[in-house]
Structure 1
Amino acid sequence: MQVDDIPAFVPSKDYQQSQAFYKAFGFELTTVSEKLCLCESGECGFFLQDFYQPQLANNLMLQLSVLDIDEVYSQLHKLNDFNVKHSDITQQPWGKELNL
């Protein structure tokens, strides 16, 4: 077996607002169905779904690896229309990190 990709299915409490956030954050959105869209950046992507189950949503974590974390941190501060909670950038043994 040779795995090519393992896209996650990310739940959203407010599907329209989540779509607007990911689009403003720089992802390209492609509608798959009425309750599912593909969010892509370059060759990476995930499915955003119009589905919300609190226990799943509260335990889901994704890791987004980027080339310039400072650029991402700056971009987050420009998204004033969204209630985005994030940490400061911290240095970890594996590199710089911020939690969103």
Structure 2
Amino acid sequence: MFKSIGIKRYYNQEFAENLMLQVCVLNINEAFNTISKLTHFDIRFEGIKQEPWGKVIYLWGPSGELLHITELN
């Protein structure tokens, strides 16, 4: 079971720009509505896209990291 995450004061631009994390959700529309309301953060995202494995929102965080918010088929 996931219990904690360690965060360090270290930034590697190449790592951040090549990092991808997939987060699976049960309802992609609810996730999109939540993401759309995040106006106080330096993020960018695309609308919901249909991919062979499910529906995906591509979201880039403030460090350039890419998150795939996914509702699997």
Which structure shows the bigger proportion of residues in helix conformation?
A: 1
Structure ID, larger Rg: 1
Bigger RCO (CA 8 Å, 6+ sep)? 2
Shift of 1:52: 0.6
Q: Which residue does the alignment assign to 1:63?
A: 22
Q: Aligned residue pairs: how many?
A: 59
- Runs ≥4 in structure 1, deviation > 4 angstroms? none
Show structure 2 runs of 5+ residues with no match.
60-73
TM-score, length of structure 2 as denominator length: 0.68
For residues 48 and 7 of structure 2, the distance between their equivalents in structure 1, rounded to whole angstroms, comes to 26
Q: Kindly provide the amino acid, as one letter, of the partner of residue 83 in structure 1.
A: D
Match of 1:83 among 16, 34, 42: 42
Q: Kindly provide the amino acid, as one letter, of the partner of residue 87 in structure 1.
A: E
CA-to-aligned-CA distance 1:5-29 (integer Å, 9 cap, x gap): 6xxxxxxxxxxxxxxxxxxxxxxxx
TM-score, length of structure 1 as denominator length: 0.51
Q: Secondary structure at the match of 1:70?
A: helix
Show structure 1 runs of 5+ residues with no match.
6-37, 39-45
Identity of aligned residues (%): 36
1:99 maps onto 2:51 in alignment: no
Cα–Cα, structure 1 residues 48 and 98, in superposed 2: closer, same or farther, change >3 Å? farther
Which structure shows the bigger proportion of residues in strand conformation?
A: 2
